[in-house]
Amino acid sequence: MPEEKSPAEQLKESLCRRKQHACERLTPEEIARGDAFCEGYKAFLNTCKTEREAAAWLLEQARAQGFVPWEDGKLYAPGTKLYVDNRGKSVILAVLGKQSLELGVRMAAAHIDSPRLDLKPQPLYDDSGLGLAKTHYYGGIKKYQWAAIPLALHGVVVKKDGAAVRIAIGDGPDDPQFCVTDLLPHLAKEQMERTLAKGIAGEELNLVIGCRPLLLEEKNEGAKLAILRMLKEKYDIIEEDLISAELEVVPAFAARDIGFDRGLIGGYGQDDRVCAYPAAMALFGCAAPEYTAVAVLTDKEEIGSCGNTGLGANYLYDFLVGLALGQGANPRKLLRAAKCLSADVNAALDPTFPSVMDSHNAALLNHGVVLTKYTGGGGKYSSSDASAEFLAWVRRVLDDAGVIWQAGELGKVDEGGGGTVAAELAKLNLDVIDLGVPVLSMHSPFELAAKTDIHMLRNACAAFFAAP
């Protein structure tokens, strides 16, 4: 006979929410299924280090699965799979549902851009026998983390005639790599007294790209000219072409399992590809859904959703309105009834730095996807504060599907803060809430996420797309 529970235990069981490690709830088979899913995710991380590479990969997968480019104004049958390629940097995927669009769409939005260093428009110079490139960092980075690590160069150079030259150097087994230098401790007396924010300053993020000069008529013409000659030979580009280029400097290492038990993944760009991949995979798994399912994989979140490929722009609105009109539906009704997940990471409690978190409201790794009612900072500024009604609906969907989830906030009230695309989506007059994977070392070159949480996000998105 099991021992009878005390009245206090019985009350706690019925009244209190208990945080539970995913491994306590999942069977070994479910954990293994999640681990297998994460093998695909790691391959995605290694193939897609920039928003352009992620967009290209997603479009390739979509086409292979029968998705066709959306045509504005066209009438489509339920089950039709559509995609929108926004300038090669943002992607919308949709599967038409059986119900009228006036009953809303089910949408998951994640971003595929990540913090990094961008080459400046006129990056190349010679100094002290080295060939170097100036960079301008993109997104919120701790600049000191980018010195003395192996870096790769990914991106595109568009020549004056419109021809685009793709560049990806540093990730192949025999590729050369690049790096930003740091000062030796022996001579860093002044540098060590700087604050962490200025340990490496923005204008000190200079990339070493070569060291062997061009020798012409026994004269040393410097490494820059030698590099320009190589670029001309290999890519047929000249220095001015770099002005119309998007060249991104990203960590050159691959995603790896972390820990003796391999329960974590370490890798670059997990904010927010750790949500983009499960959201896209869940959408690819939608066959003839009841409600139209949409996945938006967007660019420019890390610098405020600006630009025509960020969700501050109208490209998603254009699609939703155009789709509704094409189907003979009232677009305003579609938007008002739309339900959306802003699938983005949240900070996990770091046991080494617990003081920045309110432990009662901090997410833990391996405790499921984080439901974040609001983000923002300084009193919920710049947040989208999801409505209690919508949150309750999402709770029900997750519980009914057996998805492990937790509620979280982004750190202590006065500690700082941040935002997501939820604020941009809310402007469309739809219901939106943040739901994502908790991560450690967010925005660093090597972020950590737990495999069970990644798998739970896939299941959460699938349940959301299929919910009645």
Quick check: helix, strand or coil at residue 227?
helix
How many CB atoms neighbour CB 157 within 10 A? 22
Q: Is the dihedral of CA 66, 70, 76, 78 positive or negative?
A: positive
Q: Which is nearer to Mn ion, 327 or 372 (CB)?
A: 372
Quick check: helix, strand or coil at residue 369?
strand
**Beta strands across the sheet bearing 431-436:** 68-69, 81-86, 90-95, 292-298, 105-111, 339-342, 431-436, 369-372, 405-407
Q: Rounded to whole angstroms, what are the CA distances from 273 to 12, 54, 112, 150, 436? A: 38, 8, 6, 21, 11
Q: Which is nearer to Mn ion, 51 or 272 (CB)?
A: 272
The answer to whether the CB of 433 falls within 8 A of the CB of 425 is no
Q: Looking at 224-334, which runs of residues are DSSP E strands? A: 245-251, 256-258, 264-267, 292-298
Q: Which is nearer to Mn ion, 126 or 299 (CB)?
A: 299
Closest distance of CB 430 from Mn ion, Å: 20
Near Mn ion by CB under 5 A, which window of 94-102, 289-297, 326-334, 336-344? Answer: 336-344
Q: How many residues sit close enough to Mn ion to count as binding (CB under 5 A)? A: 3
Residue 170: what residue type?
G
Near Mn ion by CB under 5 A, which window of 40-48, 53-61, 341-349, 445-453? Answer: 341-349
Closest distance of CB 370 from Mn ion, Å: 12
User: Would you count residue 344 as binding Mn ion (CB under 5 A)?
Assistant: yes
Closest distance of CB 74 from Mn ion, Å: 33
Closest distance of CB 262 from Mn ion, Å: 25
User: Would you count residue 434 as binding Mn ion (CB under 5 A)?
Assistant: no
Q: Which is nearer to Mn ion, 245 or 250 (CB)?
A: 250
Distance CA 437, CA 270 (A): 9
Quick check: helix, strand or coil at residue 371?
strand
Q: How far apart are the first and last CA of the chain?
A: 41
The answer to whether the CB of 458 falls within 8 A of the CB of 452 is no
List 251's β-bridge partners, or say none: 151
User: Would you count residue 409 as binding Mn ion (CB under 5 A)?
Assistant: no
Near Mn ion by CB under 5 A, which window of 205-213, 343-351, 353-361, 365-373? Answer: 343-351
Q: Which is nearer to Mn ion, 227 or 440 (CB)?
A: 440
List 68's β-bridge partners, or say none: 82
Q: Which is nearer to Mn ion, 241 or 271 (CB)?
A: 271
Interface with Mn ion in residues 272-291 (CB under 5 A): 272
Q: Which is nearer to Mn ion, 248 or 344 (CB)?
A: 344
What would the x/- binding string for Mn ion be over residues 256 to 275, using CB under 5 A?
---------------xx---
Closest distance of CB 187 from Mn ion, Å: 34
Residue ranges in contact with Mn ion by CB under 5 A: 271-272, 344
